[in-house]
Amino acid sequence: MFYQINKSLNRTIFYDQKNNQEISSNKLLGDIENFLRGFDTENKSLCFVYCDQSYSTVLAYLSLLNSKHAIFLGDSKQNIELKNKTINTYKPRWIWSSSSMGSIEGYVFIKHHINYLYVRSDNNNYPIHKDLKLLLSSSGSTGSPKMVRLSEKNLQSNASSIVKYLNLNNSDITITSLPLNYSFGLSVLNSFLKVNAKIILTNESIISRSFWDLFKHKKVSFLAGVPYTFDILLKLNFEKMVLPNLNCMVQAGGRLSTDKIKIFEREAINKNFNFYVMYGQTEATARISYLPPKKLKEKIGSIGIPIPGGSLDIKTNLNNTEEGELVYEGPNVMLGYANSISDLASGDELKGKLYTGDLAKKDKDGFFYLTGRLNRFLKLYGLRINLDEAEEFLNKKLNCLAVCFGDDECLQIRIESNKQNLIEKTLLLLNSFYGLHHSKINALLINKIPRNKSGKIQYGQLS
């Protein structure tokens, strides 16, 4: 078995809200065996799995992990044109979906006892490397063909590291607060499976009352979220919520402002739970570093220390001996990227070393701090503008969400507000802070900053 599900315990490891069903380890093992009947066992092939947060999705994922085949996890709610774009690029042998995809050109719908299964009309196979187990999108929900190639070793090692530093055990209970096709959401599933802990499967959103009713009824003890999740929690008056079983909350998927970290640190003390701020990338199978709760106040703003089994270093240049690109090494580093079918035959190209593309510095105690992105800079009037720094500055001063992008001709600002006076205030702030003339700034109000399903800002959709 890919994950050593303990059959002798015969304990409930899933609750599926969709079907109001408890699933034991015995049932899971039997269902995996049944799911794989009819799948070709001779040749290694690629299977697309379009996910929701239900037991059938988890069953498809675990069944295929325990086969010789490779999997891509996608979003069942993704636009059909974007789905077809990815399907046409990689031509998977099978497509499984938690909901009907209608007619797919070049594929035949076949009867399967779990949801919807399609098989490619032709039986032509192409080479897939023996170590390739999972493909995840590198760009959220944009439909880009660029994929992260992950091995069984990547998945197992990252799950083991997470279990170790979070001190997970089989008495913990979590809930699907993040999509399973998103590396962070999947890492929660994988790490809980590693210790035979219970997972509440629901498609309800964190903003819905039914989510929190289920959370309380099932005595959920562990909650994972991205920065957007924590924005929602504040809007829901998290400080007034009564969650007696909550003992651990974890945050990753982007930078959470220090002001919000302080709020949730205070709530962790008041409600007696551990609050972990973490950092990771899909290219590292989700997790790279974590900040221990006992260090949260002292090292606020830090991404912490490397996860067990990994190491971090900073690649500096001659002009700067403190700040440089953050480099991670560990067994959870991807095999490499894929952009087409031919890339699926490639083996381990990175050899466990990942250049993250993030700029960072390290303090005297060995704690790391992100300072920006290598490609998140503009140069105006010869001045190097750190866009992440500019965003943080504006968000604090404007007390609303502002995002920064652009090129070396103009700094673009989009402000999520309808208050006209904020445009003039933004121009004045940037002039006083950076000395930038308003002719080099284009600030506009916007109703909603575009985000993907995991809450990350989609800069490519802004113009």
Nearest to 385 by CA among 334, 311, 304, 441: 441
182 Rama sector, left if φ>0, alpha if ψ -120 to 50, beta otherwise:
beta
The pLDDT, as a whole number, for residue 320 is 54
Q: Are residues 288 and 407 in the same domain?
A: no
Domain C-terminal end among 340, 374, 408: 374
The pLDDT, as a whole number, for residue 373 is 78
The pLDDT, as a whole number, for residue 57 is 96
343: domain CATH number?
3.40.50.12780
The pLDDT, as a whole number, for residue 27 is 92
Residue 199 β-bridge partners: 14, 174
The pLDDT, as a whole number, for residue 318 is 47
The pLDDT, as a whole number, for residue 462 is 85
Characterize 130-155 residue by residue with b for buried, 16 or more Cβ atoms within 10 angstroms of its Cβ, and e for exposed: ebbbbbbbbbbbebbbebbbbbebbb
Residue 209's domain comprises 1-374
The pLDDT, as a whole number, for residue 141 is 45
On whether the CB atoms of residues 243 and 271 are closer than 8 A, the answer is: yes
447: domain CATH number?
3.30.300.30
Domain C-terminal end among 322, 348, 374: 374
Q: Are residues 169 and 234 in the same domain?
A: yes
The pLDDT, as a whole number, for residue 406 is 87
pLDDT averaged per 10 residues, the chain (length 463): 67 94 92 86 91 95 94 91 92 93 93 87 92 86 78 97 97 96 95 95 96 98 93 95 97 89 96 97 96 96 97 78 90 97 97 94 95 78 76 91 87 94 94 82 93 79 79
Q: Are residues 360 and 436 in the same domain?
A: no
Q: Where are the beta strands (DSSP E) in 93-212?
A: 94-97, 107-110, 116-120, 132-137, 147-151, 173-175, 198-201
d(CA 44, CA 458): 35
Provide the Cα torsion 371, 280, 181, 80; round to 10°.
20
- Scanning the structure block, which residue is given the tokens 């299977």? 47
Domain C-terminal end among 310, 340, 374: 374
| pTM, two decimal places | 0.85
d(CA 287, CA 187): 8
- The first and second tokens of residue 339, run together, are 């952009």
Q: Are residues 112 and 60 in the same domain?
A: yes
